[in-house]
Amino acid sequence: MSTPASATETRRPPRVRVLPERWLRPWREAGRFPRSIVWAGAGITAVFVFVAIFAPLIWRYSGTDYQNIPRLAAPSAAHPFGTTSISFDVFARVLYGARLALEVMLLSVAISIAIGLPLGLYAGYRGGWRDRGLVLIMDSLYAFPGLLLAIVVAAFLGRGIFNASAAISVVYIPQYFRVIRNHVVSVREEVFVDAAQALGARPRTIVWRYIFFNVVQSIPVIFSINAADAVLTLAGLGFLGYGVNPPTPEWGQDLSRAIHDLASGVWWTALFPGLAIVFLTTGLTLVGEGLNDIINPLLRRVGMTGTSLIGTVAPGGAVAGESKVLEVEP
Amino acid sequence: MTDPPIVRVVDLETHFMVRESFADRLFGRSRGVVHAVDGVSLEIGRGEVFGLVGESGSGKTTLGRTILKLAEPTSGRVEFEGTDITRWDEDAMRPLRRKMQVVFQDPNASLNPAMRIVDAVGHPLKIHGIETSRRGLRIAVGDILDRVGLSPPDPFLDKYPDDLSGGQKQRVAIARALITNPSFVVLDEPVAMLDMSVRARVLELLLSLKRDFSLTYLFITHDLATAKFLCDRIAIMYLGKVAEIGPAAPIYADPKHPYTQALLGAIPQPDPSRRVPPTLPKGEIPDAVSPPAGCRFHPRCVAAIGTCGWEPRDLVDRIEDRWGRLGLDDFERERAVIGELSAIRLQADELVIVAGGRADDAKAIIEDVVREAPALGGAVESIAAASGSVIVRFRHPTEPPLRQVGGRDVACVLY
Amino acid sequence: MRTQAPPILSVHDMRVGYRTPRGVVIAVDGVTIEIAEGEAVGLVGESGCGKTTLGRAIVGVLPEEGFVEGRVEIGGRDFTALPRDERRRMRGEEIALVFQEPMTRLNPLMRVEDHFVETIRAHKSDVTKDEAKRMAREALKAMGIPPTRVSSYPHEFSGGMRQRIMIALGIVLRPKLVIADEPTTALDVIVEAQILSILEDLKDSYDMGLLLITHNLGIVAQTCDRVAVMYAGKIVEIGDVRDVFAEPKHPYTQGLLRSLIHLDTTELSSIPGAPPDLLRPPPGCRFAPRCPHRMPVCTERVPVLAEVEGGQEAACFLYPGS
């Protein structure tokens, strides 16, 4: 019954795709501005990742070496970022601090997604009182100022890398939950989900193949913003004395100790960890904002605002071509 | 009919709760009930094309979905191939879904954007365990795509819906519905969103598939012209109930129900030489939350009489209409006497206007309104002014049942 | 065509394009059309033909990626050369726009009568608020909206009534031209008939010109004096509505009319193929790939609109002059 048009058409196996074409489409259609933002942010982040991985190969001192290192030395060739009051090399502290920051960030984000995502899928799909209850809990957590919440959990759990990551992850679980849940609720009403049910698909299949695959594009954006914030929160925890155990190199803790040094005119112990925090956070945020611009097409239509609606410019509506009502068949 | 009907519904009702605010949703409160399907009985014979015709809000889509158990019936019975499936849950329905399928209206929305065509169309085969091997699926999907006119099928298999046009997507949706060889297919406005020059092709495809696969169709549409061409029997729905039902030919040749007549008259014919301004019913389909009493079409019907089911609400509407026609000064004057329309009390079969000292003036106005609307007047038992109020009593409205007239059933007091 | 007064709308050789990621799409390619005072012209075509783009381009409401070439004269004045403020003023006063979904153009936070007051006072600042309210009620009354409901919000009305409100809002300042883009597509057939009869009454009472853009040939047959058929960005046939429907000259029009399903249809018919991709339109006549009367010249040169008989024009090499 099926007559192939040409031999070559049928023999060729389906092209292997790393990412489905449709996921790449927003990227291709985005303007130069959001793409440059993403590249810039990715570049900055990549520097930190590189530094974190290759720290021992880049610099001879580790973040906890103190022997034969002068105290409070100003930046010089031997110690480009100077040294601290307890003879740590600041450059090494910054490099190894990057390693810790990225470890904690990845761990906390992983925990947040592992908990927030399934809960969001479940609540969004099931609805009813289960949904309402979870939303209530998540909204309450969300209402808490992030850093405060992290402090409370960190104080409860104690110090250490894993505990710090867990404390930070709690702040972000509601974020993933909300976005996924809301997206699920809207996708749930789509006709193709109805169609899936009409075919006889089981709820698990529907949630996975039909709903999840259509909400997954919201994750990268939250992920980047989450990552940026995790770095910041970790620094905040460290600054206030929570988080990881000293002497593990951590920018926030270093910053906190460096405050004392400022009175004596020592600026390098505070500046460099501070800059590290700012740059890494900025890099991650840029990636997040850029992705958001690309994935969320509404934002692309900047400038379509109108003041009075009457008798003036009509809103966007159909774009390149015709009314959305009718389609044409070749 | 010698064969038992493939689908049968008896006194079917499907109601939905209306939840308006977040607080409602949080506490599970309902602000009202939408009577989407409110007492419908019909049978669909095997091999028939049964047309379900109505405007938006008529309940036709909900009826189709209830038959497929995609919506829960509130009361009544749904039978498929002789089995009562009304209370069957999703697990029980699942194996049955091989035999009853649906094609939705919007081809752009009914396909999962995250699934390739081969996966989307092959999915039913996997669900029902008919075919699970990758190779077998590709062959089966290729066959059915070829059958629906997407020839050669191979280039389509690995595409995503985004890559296809509307007409192609609709064919894919049809292929997906037919791949399990069902016996009954619900077509919900299958060509409404396609261009005119393309509709014919898809309709022809549907007809030829019906012959080859021995299908029974439930064709849901608002387009009476297409229904006339396609359907053997039709049911005209209005606000959740059937107005007229029977074989298509006599209904089109000689429509009995005023609503059917109005629908047929309102269709804009592509023939400029026939420009007859139709007598159109007033207003639009009202809210299905509190439908009109008696015959639901009566407030808009040009042929209404006293027994159609007039109730106090209708009198308020008449007053509003009248005020719409008066000059502004007269309007203000009457409004001063009668008061705000929202302050008029409606209870059971009574309407009460609190007019204070001007009760007699109010009574005069009301009598005038009633005089202008003789059909409504036929249902008014009394208009009395007493202790500062005007009380209008109505006869209790009754709903006309379906009666056989001229080879079809009509629900109208005129017969 | 009445020749006494100048046409209320005159579009000359309009080209409209969009810049898309894949290239430039010319959605409207050299369209010339005129509407006389009090005349109703239907612009019909299927999806992708450019009719909506043309409508928007005429009044200057294209999105950012669009660009326009050509001349538009409204009421004898060169519209495209006017400054933005002047165009906005004209859009309220001399041109009325009626689009498919009225809710997108009504402010959900404003009462209906306030919409009118704002519009009226924006264009005629010397009118008092009470006077404006009175005008509002008159306009709404003409639409069948009772005075008791003028203070309600848009979402409290049904779809058909909202469309009436939109029309009332558009005509309250007595414009000379109404441009309606699929005004009844989202409405049921009875409400559609009601709205069309309103438009007809308005046209007769106020001598307004009407450009009715739609895919629904039925409503054009019932409401319009002349009809223009668009295909792939060009007008392929234009003429008196009775002539075009009775004896269509262009093969596309013929195919389109044959494919309509109406109450007397006994046989289904369709046009094979699909409209061309406007990124890379085919050479010569754009309908040639699907045309049953295709000749060699059709893929070589582009036919232009030429009179076939008695005021009816078609762009097809079957007729001399193209």
Rounded mean pLDDT of chain B? 89
- Structure-token match 């097809």, residue found: C316
Pairwise CB contact (< 8 Å): A315 & C100: no
Both tokens of A180, joined, read 């996924």
> Which residues are paired to B169 by β-bridges?
none
Are both B230 and B358 inside the same structural domain? no
Mutate to test the interface with B, among C270, C287, C312 (most CBs of B within 10 A): C270
Pairwise CB contact (< 8 Å): A327 & B112: no
C-alpha distances (whole Å) from B273 to each of C212, C220, C257 are: 19, 12, 15
ipTM: 0.86
C-alpha distances (whole Å) from A286 to each of A34, A277, A294, A302 are: 9, 14, 12, 19
The residue ranges of DSSP E strands in C157-260, in sequence order, are 177-181, 209-214, 226-231, 234-240
Question: Shortest Cα distance from C266 to chain A (angstroms)?
Answer: 23
Pairwise CB contact (< 8 Å): C262 & B225: yes
pLDDT of residue C225: 93
Pairwise CB contact (< 8 Å): C18 & A319: yes
Are both B245 and B320 inside the same structural domain? no
Q: How far apart are CA A309 and CA C154, in angstroms?
A: 13
Q: How far apart are CA B205 and CA B217, in angstroms?
A: 13
Sheet hosting strand B345-347, strand order edge to edge = B345-347, B350-354, B389-394, B380-386
Contact B175, B121 (CB under 8 A): yes
Are both B210 and B349 inside the same structural domain? no
Both tokens of C181, joined, read 């883009």
Helix, strand, coil share (%) of chain B residues, nearest 5: 40, 20, 40
Helices in C25-158 by DSSP H: which ranges? Answer: 51-59, 84-93, 112-123, 129-142
Backbone angles phi, psi at B125, to 5 degrees: -65, -35
Sheet hosting strand B33-44, strand order edge to edge = B33-44, B7-17, B75-80, B83-84
pLDDT of residue A326: 29
Q: How far apart are CA B8 and CA B412, in angstroms?
A: 23
Are both B241 and B332 inside the same structural domain? no
Both tokens of A87, joined, read 């003879």
* Mean pLDDT (whole number) for C4-24: 85
Are both B118 and B232 inside the same structural domain? yes
Listed ranges A154-168, B249-263, C7-21, C89-103; the one with the highest mean pLDDT: B249-263
End-to-end CA separation in angstroms for chain A:
21
Q: What band does B27 get if pLDDT is binned at 50, 70 and 90? A: low
C252 touches chain A (CB under 8 A): no
Tell me whether residue B371 is in a domain: yes
Residue-wise pLDDT tens digits, B285-311: 888 888 998 999 999 998 889 899 999
Pairwise CB contact (< 8 Å): A310 & C25: no
Q: Count other C-beta atoms under 10 Å from residue B235's C-beta.
A: 25
Are both B244 and B320 inside the same structural domain? no
Nearest CB neighbour to A310, from listed C20, C104, C169: C169
Three-class DSSP category at B300: helix
Are both B249 and B315 inside the same structural domain? no
pLDDT of residue A290: 86
C-alpha distances (whole Å) from B199 to each of A121, B148, C258 are: 39, 14, 12
Tell me whether residue B326 is in a domain: yes
Q: How far apart are CA A230 and CA A235, in angstroms?
A: 8
Question: Shortest Cα distance from C128 to chain A (angstroms)?
Answer: 19
Both tokens of A177, joined, read 């939950």
Chains in touch with A (3+ beta-carbon pairs under 8 Å) read B, C
Tell me whether residue B303 is in a domain: no
Pairwise CB contact (< 8 Å): B223 & C261: yes
Tell me whether residue B275 is in a domain: no
pLDDT of residue C266: 87
Q: How far apart are CA B280 and CA C195, in angstroms?
A: 11
Q: Which of A137, A150, A210 is nearest to A177 (CA)?
A: A137
* Mean pLDDT (whole number) for A114-121: 92
Tell me whether residue B271 is in a domain: no
Contact B98, B124 (CB under 8 A): yes
> Which residues are paired to B75 by β-bridges?
B13
| CA–centroid distance for C165 within its chain | 19
DSSP line for A9-27: HHHSPPPP-SS-HHHHHHH
Pairwise CB contact (< 8 Å): B226 & C261: yes
Residue-wise pLDDT tens digits, A254-312: 888 888 888 888 888 889 889 999 999 999 999 888 888 887 765 444 333 322 222 22
* Mean pLDDT (whole number) for B236-251: 94
Contact B318, C146 (CB under 8 A): no
B301 touches chain C (CB under 8 A): no
Q: How far apart are CA C167 and CA C202, in angstroms?
A: 10
Q: Which of B150, B208, B256, B262 is nearest to C194 (CA)?
A: B262
Query: Above 90 in pLDDT, residue C127?
Result: no
Helices in chain A by DSSP H: which ranges? Answer: 7-11, 21-29, 32-58, 90-126, 128-143, 146-157, 161-188, 191-199, 203-205, 213-215, 219-239, 251-263, 268-295, 297-300
| CA–centroid distance for C304 within its chain | 22
Backbone angles phi, psi at B306, to 5 degrees: -65, -30
Q: Count other C-beta atoms under 10 Å from residue C21's C-beta.
A: 11
pLDDT of residue B344: 87
Number of structural domains found in chain B: 2
Rounded mean pLDDT of chain A? 79
Are both B334 and B242 inside the same structural domain? no
Contact residues on chain A for C107, CB-CB shorter than 8 A: 309-310
Tell me whether residue B412 is in a domain: no
Residue-wise pLDDT tens digits, B131-181: 889 999 999 999 999 999 998 999 999 999 988 888 899 999 999 999 999
Tell me whether residue B268 is in a domain: no
Both tokens of C296, joined, read 């060699």
Q: Count other C-beta atoms under 10 Å from residue B298's C-beta.
A: 26
Last residue of a domain, one of B253, B276, B293: B253
Are both B316 and B218 inside the same structural domain? no
Q: Which of A40, A34, A70, A45 is nearest to A295 (CA)?
A: A34
Query: Above 60 in pLDDT, residue A171?
Result: yes
Query: Above 80 in pLDDT, residue B41?
Result: yes
Pairwise CB contact (< 8 Å): A314 & C88: no
Contact A13, B138 (CB under 8 A): no
pLDDT of residue B180: 92
Q: What band does B217 get if pLDDT is binned at 50, 70 and 90? A: very high
Residues contacting A266, CB < 8 A, separation 6+: A72, A82, A85, A258
Both tokens of B413, joined, read 């007091």
The residue ranges of DSSP E strands in B67-129, in sequence order, are 75-80, 83-84, 100-103
Q: How far apart are CA B335 and CA A218, in angstroms?
A: 56
Single pTM value for the model = 0.83
Q: What band does A108 get if pLDDT is binned at 50, 70 and 90? A: very high
> In terms of CA atoms, which chain B residue is nearest residue C160?
B284
Contact residues on chain C for B263, CB-CB shorter than 8 A: 189-190
Percentage of the residues of chain A whose pLDDT score is greater than 70: 82
Residue-wise pLDDT tens digits, C202-225: 888 888 899 999 999 999 998 899
Residue B195 or B252, more confident: B252
Q: What band does A328 get if pLDDT is binned at 50, 70 and 90? A: very low
Contact residues on chain C for B204, CB-CB shorter than 8 A: 268, 270
* Mean pLDDT (whole number) for C169-179: 85
pLDDT of residue A86: 84
Residue-wise pLDDT tens digits, A188-246: 888 898 899 999 888 888 888 888 888 887 788 888 888 999 999 999 998 988 888 87
> Which residues are paired to C312 by β-bridges?
C309
Last residue of a domain, one of B253, B269, B291: B253
Are both B183 and B318 inside the same structural domain? no
Pairwise CB contact (< 8 Å): B160 & A20: yes
Q: What is the domain range of residue B26?
A: 7-253
Q: What band does A19 get if pLDDT is binned at 50, 70 and 90? A: low
Q: What does the CA dihedral C120, C121, C124, C125 come to, rounded to 10 degrees? A: 170
Nearest CB neighbour to B123, from listed A4, A132, A201: A201
Are both B30 and B176 inside the same structural domain? yes
Rounded mean pLDDT of chain C? 86
Tell me whether residue B267 is in a domain: no
Residue-wise pLDDT tens digits, A294-307: 877 654 443 333 22
Question: Shortest Cα distance from A327 to chain C (angstroms)?
Answer: 6
Element (H or E) spanning B229, and its range?
A: helix B224-230
Residues contacting B91, CB < 8 A, separation 6+: none
Q: Burial-class residue B107 by CB neighbours within 10 Å (0-12, 13-18, 19+).
A: buried
Domains belonging to chain A, first-starting first, are 22-62+81-296 (1.10.3720.10)
* Mean pLDDT (whole number) for B70-81: 94
Are both B201 and B315 inside the same structural domain? no
Pairwise CB contact (< 8 Å): B263 & C189: yes
pLDDT of residue A23: 67
Round the CA-based radius of gyration of chain C to a whole number and report it.
21
114-153 in C: which are within 8 Å (CB) of B? 134, 137, 141, 144-149
Q: How far apart are CA B233 and CA B244, in angstroms?
A: 11
